[in-house]
Amino acid sequence: MSAVDEASIFAALKAIVEPRQQKDIVSLGMVSGLVVKDGNVGFAIEVDPRQGAAMEPLRKAAEKAVYDLDGVTSVTVVLTAEKSSAQGQPQGQPQGQPQGQSQGQPAGQRGGGQQQALVPGVRSIVAVASGKGGVGKSTTTTNLALAMVQLGLKVGVLDADIYGPSQPRMLGISGRPSSPDGKILNPMENYGLKCMSMGFLVAEDTPMIWRGPMVQSALQQMLRDVDWGELDILMVDMPPGTGDAQLTMAQQVPLTGAVIVSTPQDIALLDARKGLNMFRKVDVPVLGIVENMSVFICPNCGHESHIFSHGGARREAEKLGMEFLGELPLDIEIRETSDGGRPIVVSNPDAAQAKAYGAIAARVWEKVSAQIDAGGARQAPKIVMQ
Ligand code: ADP
């Protein structure tokens, strides 16, 4: 099969006409961010945010036009729009769609409309979030997910950290997902864990400028258009931070609960509190907080140094009425194994650090399964943290 080039993609897209202006989307300058990599094509169509939902047929038509080209194995098209100052609402939310942000509304009824549809076969979805980047959110997600596999659960990881997707590297997965019908992608898999990440679809060194609506549709596609099969739990590695994009994401994914990862110094800076408030705003129960890089254990002598004021997370969690789920040390083996694609939970399962992940994973699953039993994952949860 010959490789597809940008010129033929643009030529195919010239056949797609924007219905209101009756001009093709290339001439109108609506196509942006084209990425072509080994037959995998991705680009954005810039639309008026008020037209978001109405533009879905256009998106589909563009996707099909490119998919029909010789040499194309997958196509990812996302709608994007500048934030509309007139709307004053989170980006990517089509107008007229219920917002579901009111306090006290059960999680199963958040949002409304198609975007809230639960993913068939997936019993629960748990977000792993952090107030800012670099606190070890992805490392924690990977190791907790793998610890859940060891508990005998069917587990998936959705890498929604599209600004810096790290799950492929942490799980030692390379290559691209296959798509037998060109529409639904098969997740990648390693260590018994299924994984989907934007990192599989775009080159690691490709700078991508994501705007709110693109983030939303990428996430929706990774949820909806991936054959996750039967899963007990899907862990979502959220983008760091607590801004609009994260809030909308938390609102649009039918989350069973959220885990907040924080380092001792962020706790002091109240980042964890912002994370908690974000999930409360959209009525997602916060399952608890994990303190990462809590103490430094010297690899040579085993001495424990409390570089940051260790113990702050536990106190802060108590103050905020959140459960303290556990702590992980700042440890060279955690770093080397996760960055090397063989996380400590699988490469050294008897290590104390691996056991610490195991204990946290067991507790998270205990809380999640209680919600599933109470109907929380599929309908309104019985437990809503106040
Ligand atoms: P985030 O997802 O919050 O941006 P990452 O999980 O990518 O953070 O971690 C950032 C860096 O810190 C990575 O190099 C990772 O290996 C390292 N790291 C994460 N947790 C630990 C830990 N407990 N001990 C040592 N290094 C860690």
The CA R_g of the chain, rounded to the nearest whole Å, is: 21
Q: Is the CB of 290 under 6 A from ligand 1?
A: no
Rounded to the nearest angstrom, the distance between the alpha carbon of 248 and the centre of ligand 1 is 25
User: What angle (nearest 5°) sits at the alpha carbon of residue 302, between those of residues 300 and 305?
Assistant: 110
Measuring CA to CA, which residue among 317, 270, 263 is closest to residue 294? 263
Q: Is the CB of 337 under 6 A from ligand 1?
A: no
Neighbour tally for 67: CB within 10 Å: 17
The atom of ligand 1 lying closest to the CA of 339 is 16
The reported pLDDT for the residue numbered 107 is: 33
Pocket perturbation via mutation, ligand 1, pick of 335, 344, 348, 357 by most ligand atoms within 8 A of CB: 335
Length of the chain: 386
What are the mean pLDDT values of the chain's consecutive 10-residue runs (386 residues total)?
A: 84 93 92 78 78 80 92 79 38 31 32 46 92 90 97 94 86 89 89 92 63 70 88 92 76 87 72 78 89 81 71 77 90 93 96 95 94 60 30
The reported pLDDT for the residue numbered 25 is: 93
Nearest CA to ligand 1 atom 27: 335
Q: Is the CB of 271 under 6 A from ligand 1?
A: no
In this structure, are strands 233-237 and 286-291 parallel, antiparallel, or unpaired? Answer: unpaired
The atom of ligand 1 lying closest to the CA of 292 is 23
The atom of ligand 1 lying closest to the CA of 166 is 7
State the pTM of this model. Answer: 0.71
274-310 per-position pLDDT tens digit: 778 888 888 889 999 999 988 777 777 777 777 666 6
The reported pLDDT for the residue numbered 376 is: 53
